[in-house]
Structure 1
Amino acid sequence: MDTALAATSGTSSPTGSTTSSSSWFSGIVRGRSTKSVAPPPTVASSSVVAAISESVGKGSRKKQLKGALFKYGSNSAQVAFKTGDFTQQVVFIGGLTDGLLATEYIEPLSIALENNNWSLVQPLLSSSYIGYGTSSLEQDALEIDQLINYLINNENSEGVILLGHSTGCQDIVHYMKTNFACSKAVRGVILQAPVSDREYRATLPETPAMIDLAAKMISEGKGNELMPREADSAAPITAYRYHSLCAYMGDDDMFSSDLSEDQLRQRLGHMASTPCQVIFSMADEYVPEYVDKKALVDRLCRALGGAEKVEVEWGNHSLSNRVQEAVQAIIDFVKREGRSGWDDPWS
């Protein structure tokens, strides 16, 4: 049974798209231009739905996207794939083991974004695929900043929206807390499946002993050394990263249902100044059954400063069974004007 997507708005809402002859925030790296032109015409909602339906029916079977592959940093892993040739970009940050074409909605989303004059950028980070175990949120944040810097200098970017999936949500939240120069270019944030790695891994029998071992290794100055193979069957993982993902109040522990209101605000409160949307799957297989999902997403949205809430009934973790709802929610956010009274930092 298809279930309609329900969305409710809090105190924050996303920015819309406006174009100019030069980057709004080009003063970060070069002289600012104040000349502006009228925004491009928007595509009617029915056109967006038609594009989604067409791409889901055809493109998702082809598993193909046409675009440009480019390097944004010196590390061999630092390449990104861009579809569409526009000066506004949605940047997709995947979760653990993710790389290119990480979710089923990527292909139809790229088509819908192009119809609205936005590009989709899929970067590979050092942590992509099996690299997550030897990386960190800090390293990911540095590379996200490098990517946005590239888009500003080489693509005349007028602003980006960061779209995180799963653990990619933690990357984005951490990046926005760094106040790196290019974070000023972030016009909005979408968190799709912001769930707790710690609570999921707590359901695995080996986790308690591995947490104790990781803590012991860190105390002995061996945080960058690898854990035993049984700690993570998918990738080599350091004691630091394992502890970050699995331990209470580890660096990656941002969305757990047992965190207090103060702890959630401490971890998420800085997002209040950024338009934010939370897309939460109400049948997410990585959320333990004992967790009240409705209560959790409400608490997360409050801690984020009043983020927009989108609950996808029966949706799984990657929304592979609710592709159209996922794309529609993202497109609605991208197209929407900022809330009344919001101070546009590029005006």
Structure 2
Amino acid sequence: MNTSSALSSSTTSWFSSIVRGRSEKMGNPSMSSNANAGGGGVSVARKNHLRGALFKYGPKPAQVAFKTGEFKQQVIFIGGLTEGFLASEYLQPLSIALENEKWSLVQLLLSSSYTGYGTSSLKEDALEIDQLINYFINKEDSEGVVLLGHSTGCQDIVHYMQTNAACSRAVRAAILQAPVSDREYRATLPETAEMIDLASFMMREGREMDLMPREANPDAPITAYRYHSLCAYMGDDDMFSSDLSDDQLKMRLGHMESTPCQVIFSMADEYVPEYVDKKALVERLCRAMGGAEKVEIEWGNHTLSNRVAEAVKAIVDFVKREGPKGILGLFGCCTKSIRSGKDESEYD
């Protein structure tokens, strides 16, 4: 889901946090002592300022991640369309709360981050998520990860878990925050129907990777394939629409039943059309995933910027409860298979 309002603030705040964090560490003794508190290496200077490690997890220029805390367990935040670092208000307090539980918070950039989503795909996102988990397994001896998706990041998680990639076995649990339908939201825009027809025509002609006209998606260049994926009925991104049948939802989401899942749904999400029965929808989504935990945030908006404390509590409670389950034997198998193969040095 497109949250372009977060774009400008995200692109400035993440870099300034790194630059200012370095100067404050050198010139402010109290800040330096905070950085060492708890042994996790996380220091919050002020709102939306975090101290941690910025690193590359893959060969592409965009494949950069930011980690707060030095622990063997990681919660990986996967943002939605147009999002990048510090995409949601709850990430800063979440990093502190996770540090107290000996978990690191990781924010990653994908090739699809910021304005790259229009020329990317869920498939490419899944490959890059796998590279990040591979990095933690082989470079930092990770003991397991929890995937936390916001908006279209939820589609990324669902698609990734369906790939059965080797590193997906290191996923202890998944949290879907604001799993909403891009198609149903886009259907409220006047140009969408005509542009879906154009995208379908271009795909039939074998031009799925050609760009759509600017009016189809003013925020960023977008290919015919990605536009169709986001906007067309049963497109690749169409996983959470209220008009999908129970069988269709089960087909799209049913494989998640083997992973502990939490669905956090904002009951005042501005990207969900008024006609959608939100309570009925979240119930159906959880049922399609084999009984995922349901969390309804009353009056919560799409990013939960107005319900930060509730978001952090729900996430941390779930990580504490579900994170350690069923990981030892499965994760040991995963690390053995990855470390013994060519993947170990692929991203050195």
- TM-score of Structure 1 vs Structure 2, range by shorter chain: 0.7 to 0.9
Aligned 1:4-43 pairs, distance under 5 A: none
Give 1:151's aligned residue: 136
Is 1:164 aligned to residue 149 of structure 2?
Answer: yes
Give 2:4's aligned residue: none
Q: Identity, % of aligned pairs?
A: 78
CA pair 334-269 structure 1, distance change in 2 beyond 3 A: same
What is the total number of aligned residue pairs between the two structures? Answer: 292
Pairing partner for 1:317 from 272, 280, 302: 302
Give 1:50's aligned residue: none
**Residue aligned with 2:105, SS:** strand
Give 1:265's aligned residue: 250
CA pair 342-284 structure 1, distance change in 2 beyond 3 A: same
CA pair 71-343 structure 1, distance change in 2 beyond 3 A: closer
Is 1:283 aligned to residue 268 of structure 2?
Answer: yes
Inter-partner Cα distance in structure 1 for 2:330 and 2:69: 25
Inter-partner Cα distance in structure 1 for 2:139 and 2:324: 30
Decide whether the 8 Å contact of 1:189 with 1:276 is kept in 2.
Answer: yes
Q: How many angstroms does 1:59 deviate by?
A: 5.4
Q: How many angstroms does 1:346 deviate by?
A: 4.0
Is 1:126 aligned to residue 103 of structure 2?
Answer: no
Q: How many angstroms does 1:302 deviate by?
A: 0.3
Decide whether the 8 Å contact of 2:257 with 2:290 is kept in 1.
Answer: yes
Is 1:71 aligned to residue 56 of structure 2?
Answer: yes
Decide whether the 8 Å contact of 1:160 with 1:185 is kept in 2.
Answer: yes
**Residue aligned with 1:278, SS:** strand
CA pair 90-337 structure 1, distance change in 2 beyond 3 A: closer
Give 1:85's aligned residue: 70
Decide whether the 8 Å contact of 2:64 with 2:109 is kept in 1.
Answer: yes
Inter-partner Cα distance in structure 2 for 1:232 and 1:72: 30
Q: How many angstroms does 1:345 deviate by?
A: 2.7
Q: Given residue 170 of structure 1, which amino acid in structure 2 is its aligned partner?
A: Q
Q: Given residue 231 of structure 1, which amino acid in structure 2 is its aligned partner?
A: A
Q: Given residue 208 of structure 2, which amino acid in structure 1 is its aligned partner?
A: G
Aligned 1:198-277 pairs, distance under 5 A: 198-277=183-262
Residue deviations 1:174-209 (CA, integer Å, cap 9, x gap)? 000000110000000000000000000000000000
Inter-partner Cα distance in structure 2 for 1:132 and 1:342: 32
What TM-score, normalized by structure 2, do the two folds share?
0.81
Pairing partner for 1:335 from 314, 320, 323: 320
**Residue aligned with 1:130, SS:** helix
Inter-partner Cα distance in structure 1 for 2:145 and 2:325: 20
CA pair 159-146 structure 1, distance change in 2 beyond 3 A: same
Q: Given residue 314 of structure 1, which amino acid in structure 2 is its aligned partner?
A: W
Inter-partner Cα distance in structure 1 for 2:159 and 2:114: 20
Q: How many angstroms does 1:155 deviate by?
A: 1.1
Superposed structure 1 runs of 4+ greater than 4 Å apart: 58-61, 337-344
**Residue aligned with 1:280, SS:** strand
Q: How many angstroms does 1:341 deviate by?
A: 9.2
Q: How many angstroms does 1:215 deviate by?
A: 0.1
Decide whether the 8 Å contact of 2:123 with 2:159 is kept in 1.
Answer: yes
What TM-score, normalized by structure 1, do the two folds share?
0.81
Give 1:303's aligned residue: 288
Inter-partner Cα distance in structure 2 for 1:85 and 1:340: 21
Decide whether the 8 Å contact of 2:170 with 2:327 is kept in 1.
Answer: no
Q: How many angstroms does 1:84 deviate by?
A: 0.1
Decide whether the 8 Å contact of 1:60 with 1:108 is kept in 2.
Answer: no
Comparing both structures, which one devotes a greater share of its residues to helix? 2
Inter-partner Cα distance in structure 2 for 1:195 and 1:311: 13
Inter-partner Cα distance in structure 2 for 1:227 and 1:60: 43
Structure 1, gaps ≥5 residues long: 1-54
